[in-house]
A and B are shown apart, each in its own frame.
Chain A
Amino acid sequence: MGEERKTRVLVAKPGLDGHDRGAKVIARAFRDAGFEVIYTGLRQTPEMIVSAAIQEDVDAIGLSCLSGAHMYLFPHVVKLLRERGVDDVLVFGGGTIPDDDIPKLKEAGITEVFTPGTPTSVAIDFVRNHVGRRKR
C-alpha cells in the first residue's frame, strides 16, 4: 500500500459561451477512467480557474471553449499560473479550435489541443502519460 495517488483534473469552461456538453462528456469520461474531476461550471474567468486549480491542487486543467475566444482565454490561464509560481500543472484544451491556432496555443503553454471528434480515450491517455512525469 503506502502512498496512494489519485489524479485530479479540473475541467473548466472559461468565457461566455453556454455550451457545456463537451466539458460534461470529458468530465464523465475522466471519472469513468478513475480520475477525480473537479467541475466548476460555466462562465469562469481565467482568474477563477487558476484560483480553483491551486486550492484543489490539481494535476491537470482541461479547458473547453466554443466561443472563439480561446486565443485569449487559454494562454491567459497559463500566464496566471506562471505568475503564481505554478509550473507543474498540465494545461490542455478542447473545443472548436481552428487548426491554424493550435501551434500558437502550444507555444503559449497549452500542451495539447483536442478538436471535435477526438475519442475521449485519446485525452485520457494523454493526461495519464503526462501527469506521471509531474514532479512532487
Chain B
Amino acid sequence: MEIVERVRQGDVRAMARLMSLIENYSPDATLALKQLYPFTGQGLIVGITGPPGCGKSTLTDQLTQEFRRGGKTVGIVAVDPTSPFTGGAILADRIRMQQHSLDAGVFIRSMATRGHLGGLAKATYDVVNVLDAAGKEIILVETVGVGQDEVEVVKTAHLSIVVSVPGLGDDIQAIKAGVLEIADIFVVNKADREGANKTVTELQAMLALGPERSEGNPPIFETVAPQGQGIAELAQGILARQAHLDREGFRQTRQRERSRALFLELFQERVTRRLLEQAIANGSLEETIERIADRDLDPYSAVEELLGKAGL
C-alpha cells in the first residue's frame, strides 16, 4: 500500500489522510494499520490529563519545545469535546501550539471526541500508532479534561501526567476517583499562584494515604507553563520516570496491559458495529427500540434475541 510507505517516511499528507480515514471508520484505515503495526512500539507515549483550564495545552506546547531542544521529534494528539447536541466541535488546542506549526519535527493533530462507538481510546490509539510508525520519538496525548474517558485514554499511554492547579478547592476531590491511580507524574501548574504549596502538600498527603505502589510513588513537579518555569525539570522527570519504569521491568507489564485494553476495545467496537449494522439493515433496530419504549419488550430479552439471531 502506497500510503503505508509514505507514512513510514514521515510524509505529512499521508499521515494526515490516514488519520482522517481512521476517524471516519474507513476500511482502508484498517488495512493500513495492519501493515503499520509491526513498525510501532518505538515512540514514548505520554498522556496528559487534568481539569479544563489547568494548562494542558500550554504544558504540551512547552514540553514540545523542550524535547525539540533535545533533538527529539514530537507528535501531538489534542482532543477536544464534540457537542452532543449538534455533533460539531471547536478544536482550539493549536492556538497554544503555534510556535511549532512550521517545525517539520512536530506533527500536531486535533481530534474531536465524536460519538466513538467502542470509545475514544481506540481512535486515539490508532492515531498515535500512525505517529509512532512515522518515527515520532515522543508522542503527547492531551485529553479533553473531564470524565471517565480520560482514564481510558491514558491507559493507552506509557506514562501519564496528571495536571492540577492551586485554588480549585475541589481539585483533590476531582482527582480522587481513578485519576490518582493512573498518574505516573503529577504537575501542579500555575505554581506562582497562591496556594500552590498547599496543593503539593495535599497531593503528597493523598499519595501517602494510599497503598505503597510497587513502582514507587509518582513525583510531583511545579510549573508555570507560559513562562516555561519548571518545564526542563518536568521533561527530565518524564525521561527519568520512564527509565525507572524500564529498569524495574514495568515496561513489559504495561505493554501487556495496553495490548489487552486495546484488543478488548477493538473487539468490542467491531462486534458491536457488525451486530448493529445487521440490525439496522434488516430494520429490526428501530422496531425493537419502539417495543422497549412501549414496555412491550424488556431490553435484556431484546439483547439476547439480537445475539441469538447472530448465533451467539
Q: A82 to chain B: closest CB distance in Å?
A: 14
Q: In the complex, which residues 72-90 of chain A have their Cβ closer than 8 Å to any Cβ of chain B?
A: 84-86
A48, B98: Cα distance in complex, Å: 8
Given the interface pairs A2-B25, A3-B25, A3-B26, the reply to whether A39 lies near B83 with Cβ below 8 Å is: no
Which chain A residues have a beta carbon within 8 Å of chain B's beta carbons? Answer: 1-6, 8, 27-28, 30-41, 44, 47-48, 51-52, 54-57, 84-86
In the complex, B88 has a CB within 8 A of chain A: yes
Could you count the A-B residue pairs with CB atoms below 8 Å apart for me: how many are there? 96
Number of B interface residues at 8 Å Cβ cutoff, please give it.
Answer: 36
Checking B24, B86, B94, B102 against A5 with a beta-carbon cut-off of 8 angstroms, the contacting residue is: B24
* Complex contact B87–A34 (CB within 8 A): yes
* Complex contact B102–A47 (CB within 8 A): yes
What B residues does A37 contact at CB under 8 A?
Answer: 88-91
Q: In the complex, which residues 168-192 of chain B have their Cβ closer than 8 Å to any Cβ of chain A?
A: none
Q: B136 to chain A: closest CB distance in Å?
A: 12
* Complex contact B101–A36 (CB within 8 A): no
* Complex contact A31–B86 (CB within 8 A): yes
Looking at chain B's contact residues, the main secondary structure is mixed
A118, B203: Cα distance in complex, Å: 52
Q: B203 to chain A: closest CB distance in Å?
A: 32
* Complex contact A6–B23 (CB within 8 A): yes
A27, B88: Cα distance in complex, Å: 10
In the complex, B19 has a CB within 8 A of chain A: yes
In the complex, B1 has a CB within 8 A of chain A: no
Stretch at the interface among B10-18, B193-201, B207-215: B10-18
What A residues does B98 contact at CB under 8 A?
Answer: 40-41, 44, 48
Checking B12, B16, B24 against A3 with a beta-carbon cut-off of 8 angstroms, the contacting residue is: B24
Stretch at the interface among B109-117, B149-157, B251-259: B109-117
In the complex, B206 has a CB within 8 A of chain A: no
Not counting A33-B86, A38-B92, a sample of 16 additional A-B residue pairs whose C-beta atoms are within 8 angstroms of each other reads A1-B273, A1-B280, A3-B26, A6-B87, A6-B112, A8-B20, A30-B88, A31-B90, A32-B88, A35-B88, A37-B88, A37-B90, A40-B101, A41-B94, A48-B98, A51-B102
Q: A26 to chain B: closest CB distance in Å?
A: 11
* Complex contact A31–B83 (CB within 8 A): yes
In the complex, B276 has a CB within 8 A of chain A: yes
What B residues does A85 contact at CB under 8 A?
Answer: 13
* Complex contact A31–B95 (CB within 8 A): no
In the complex, B302 has a CB within 8 A of chain A: no
* Complex contact B277–A1 (CB within 8 A): yes
What B residues does A54 contact at CB under 8 A?
Answer: 12-13, 16
Residue of A nearest to B274 (CB): A1
Nearest first, the 5 A-B pairs at minimum CB distance are A41-B95, A31-B88, A57-B16, A48-B101, A34-B87
